[in-house]
Amino acid sequence: MRSAASRKISGSGLPRGTSAATMLLLLQARAEGLGACWMAGPTVARRDIAELIGIREPWRMLGAVALGWPDEAPNATPRRALEKIATWFEGGSK
Ligand SMILES: Cc1cc2nc3c(=O)[nH]c(=O)nc-3n(C[C@H](O)[C@H](O)[C@H](O)COP(=O)(O)O)c2cc1C
C-alpha cells in the first residue's frame, strides 16, 4: 500500500523504476564490454513490437535497448562541464 506522501508524487512510478533499471542494465553492459543504446524511438511501433514479442497487459513497452558486441570503438562524445549540470548543496538545515 502506498503512503500518503508517495501518493502525492504525481503519476505512476513505472517510468522512474524502468529508467533506473535501464541505467543499471547499461552500466552492466558496459562493464561486460557490450555496446548498448537506450532508445525511445521504437515505441512508435509499440503495437507491432508487442505483437511480435508477446508483450501483454499489464506489461507495456516504455523503450528498447539495442545490445551487442561492438565492432568499432568510437571516440567518446563531449560532455558538458559538471558545474554546468550539477549544483552542490553543502551544510543543509539543522
Ligand atoms: C529516454 C531516452 C531515449 C532515447 N531514445 C533514443 C532513440 O530513440 N534513438 C537514439 O538513437 N538514441 C536515443 N537515445 C540516446 C541514446 O540512448 C544515448 O543516450 C545517446 O546516444 C548517448 O550518446 P553519447 O554517449 O554519445 O552522448 C535516448 C536516450 C534516452 C535517455
* Residue 58 in domain: yes
* Residue 76 in domain: no
Tens digits of residue pLDDT in 15-50? 889 999 999 999 999 999 999 999 999 999 999 999
CA nearest ligand 1 atom 17, residue:
38
Angstrom distances, CA of residue 37 to CA of 22, 60, 61? 10, 19, 16
* Residue 4 in domain: no
Ligand 1 pocket, 19 CB below 6 A?
Answer: no
Q: Determine the Cα–Cα distance for residues 74 and 94; give it in Å rounded to an integer.
A: 48
pLDDT of residue 6: 65
* Residue 47 in domain: yes
Total of domains in the chain = 1
In this prediction, residues 40-62 reach a mean pLDDT of 95
19 or 92: whose pLDDT is higher? 19
Q: Chain-wide mean pLDDT for the chain?
A: 89
Ligand 1 pocket, 67 CB below 6 A?
Answer: no
* Residue 25 in domain: yes
Please give the residue range of the domain that contains residue 51.
Answer: 12-69
76: amino acid identity, one letter: A
Which one, of 35, 65, 26, 36, lies nearest residue 49 by Cα? 65
Span from the CA of 58 to the centroid of ligand 1 (angstroms): 26
* Residue 93 in domain: no
